[in-house]
Structure 1
Amino acid sequence: MMGNIKIIRVAQAKHSTLGHLYINGLFCCYILEDAVRDRKIPGQTAIPAGEYTLGLNATARMNRSYSSRYAAMHRGMVEVRGIPNFSLVFFHVGNYHTDTAGCLLTGSYWQLLDGDYRVLHSAAAYKHAYPLLVAEIEKGNDKVEVFDCCSPSGSPSLR
């Protein structure tokens, strides 16, 4: 089944991009990424708009700290796979674009501070989103669609 997981980017700031994560048509949490750029800068660029696969990565270095921090639910880092020129892109906790390293940060709400977005109550959003993402992956609904900010017509578009 396609289209169960969507990230719709809604706003761009100096170095950050704010988005919404939807699972099965319902808003799940805010997503913070680095800026969308035409040229990839390692650790400073949002993933390109498109369709990707999600999977669980139980071997990445980050997995060790999340295994102890979220022991009751952790089954591996939720990884976005198949991104050109990107690897080890995870959903994880953090507040500022400087925390992303090209990954997707979860947030319960957001603020615009000094010209950039930040997300807050990230751990609470992660604890909400993580089991929902894992459940979709286990059901075989492992595709995520990433949409850039609105097109000239005002609707989100895949680039």
Structure 2
Amino acid sequence: MEIRVKLSRQGKNTTLSELYINDEFICYVLEDSIRDEKIPGSTAIPAGRYKLEYNRYGAMNGRYQRWYPKFHKGMIELKGIPNFSYVYIHKGNTHANTAGCLLVGNTMRYDKNFGDYEVHQSQKAYKTVYKRLSALMEKGEVFIKVRY
């Protein structure tokens, strides 16, 4: 199975995309800026195709397990990204929350004062995305194509 993250817009420090499963729009995705040279924790992942796997270790996994004990099976991590590690799909609203990860939200907003995008209703979007991706991952391999 393959899901897509399609580039929508770029702000001063943000990249806004749309996440699709089976060509159905699911939610918005917020990342840091696309850069030619990586700045750790401040750079969007490069365009490519990456496998999704559970990561069941670390403090973030523990927090999400406490917040979502009924369905959390581990952080959904994008694997095999050159020069990147621990890239998760998780909740958050601004580029300050990303640290190189993909934030999900049901709505988006452009902040004219800062020239950046934000995603909102992130917790609701996260629950939806996590449950759908988790169900797909239980059936077999799942890959994410970023910026296509």
- Output the TM-score relative to the length of structure 1: 0.89
Match 2:79 to one of 56, 81, 104: 81
SS of match in other structure, 1:19 = strand
CA distance in 1, matches of 2:7, 2:67: 28
Shift of 1:141: 3.6
What do residues 12-41 of structure 1 show as CA deviations (whole Å, max 9, x unaligned)? 110000000111211111000000000000
Q: Which runs of 5+ in 2 are unaligned?
A: none
1:21 aligned partner, one-letter code: L
Residue identity opposite 1:116 in structure 2? D
**Within-5 A mapping of 1:26-105:** 26-105=24-103
Task: Give 2:122's aligned amino acid.
Answer: S
SS of alignment partner, residue 39 of structure 1: coil
Structure 1 unpaired stretches of 5+: 148-155
Amino acid at match of 2:123: A
Q: Work out whether 1:146 is the aligned partner of 2:138.
A: no
SS state at 1:106 partner:
strand
2:20–2:27 contact (8 Å) kept in structure 1: yes
Q: CA deviation at 1:60?
A: 2.5
Whole-angstrom distance in 2 between the partners of 1:60 and 1:8: 29
CA contact (8 A) 2:51 2:144 kept: yes
User: What is the TM-score when the length of structure 2 is the normalising length?
Assistant: 0.95
Q: CA RMSD in A?
A: 0.9
Summarize deviations over 1:85-142 as a string: whole Å, max 9, x none: 0000000110000100000001010000120000001000001100111112122141
CA distance in 1, matches of 2:58, 2:10: 29
What secondary structure, in the 3-state scheme, does the structure 2 residue paired with 1:6 have? Answer: strand
1:9 Cα deviation from its structure 2 partner: 1.2
Matched-pair identity in %: 49
Where 2:54 maps in the other structure, the secondary structure is: strand
